[in-house]
Amino acid sequence: MNIQQIASKARNSISNYCINECHAYCCRKGYLILNEEELNLLTQDKRKELEDREFIKQQEGNKFSLNFSNHLGSCPQLNDSKCMIHKNPKRPLTCEKFPIFVDEEKKEIRLSPRCFAVKENKLFPYTHKFLELGFKVNEDYF
Ligand code: SF4
Ligand code: SF4
Question: Nearest ligand to the C-alpha of residue 25?
Answer: 1
C-alpha of residue 72 to centroid of ligand 1, in Å: 19
Task: Report the number of distinct structural domains present in the chain.
Answer: 1
Residue range(s) defining the domain that contains residue 134? 3-138
Q: What's residue 58's pLDDT?
A: 96
pTM of full prediction above 0.75: yes
Q: What's residue 92's pLDDT?
A: 98
Encode the chain (142 residues) as per-residue pLDDT tens digits.
Answer: 999 999 999 999 999 999 999 999 999 999 999 999 999 999 999 999 999 999 999 999 999 999 999 999 999 999 999 999 999 999 999 999 999 999 999 999 999 999 999 999 999 999 999 999 999 999 875 5
Within 6 A (CB) of ligand 2 lie 27, 32, 42, 75, 77-78, 83, 85, 91-92, 95
Within 6 A (CB) of ligand 1 lie 14, 17-18, 22, 24-26, 98-99, 115-117
The string over 69-100, giving b where at least 16 C-beta atoms fall within 10 Å of a residue's C-beta and e elsewhere, is: ebebebbbbbeebebebeeeeebbeebeebbb
Which residue, by CA, sits nearest to atom 6 of ligand 1?
A: 26
